[in-house]
Amino acid sequence: MLLLLDESVPRRLRHALPSHDVRTVVEMGWSGIKNGELLGLAAANRFDAFVTVDKRLPYQQNLATLPIAVVVLDAISNELSSLLPLVPALDQALATLTPRTCIKVGSEA
């Protein structure tokens, strides 16, 4: 699965997802782009899912219009040490993820 990590997600999280092709917003050259346009770019570039810690994103965007899924990581912070415990649940969620959906993974999922 081709995943795009939001700027707010530590890029080192990619190493915990070895079965996926993971890119970051920064390495794609999309730093500073607002979420709506960013999701459009991700969809146009055939990403399967956008991974973020922005809990407001699902309420701010119309995900039904994009052929991409969104995964919101819900942790105490966006530090790698807080996100790594979510990786098993993230992998499980990615296995059944469908386009145009949003899944929350974490403490309140």
Query: pLDDT by residue (tens digit) across 28-52?
Result: 999 999 888 899 999 999 999 999 9
Task: Look at residue 63 and tell me whether its pLDDT is greater than 90.
Answer: no
Task: Look at residue 108 and tell me whether its pLDDT is greater than 90.
Answer: no
Can you give the pLDDT at residue 49?
Answer: 95
| Contact by Cβ (8 Å): 49, 90 | no
Domain count, the chain: 1
Q: Which domain holds residue 8?
A: 2-106
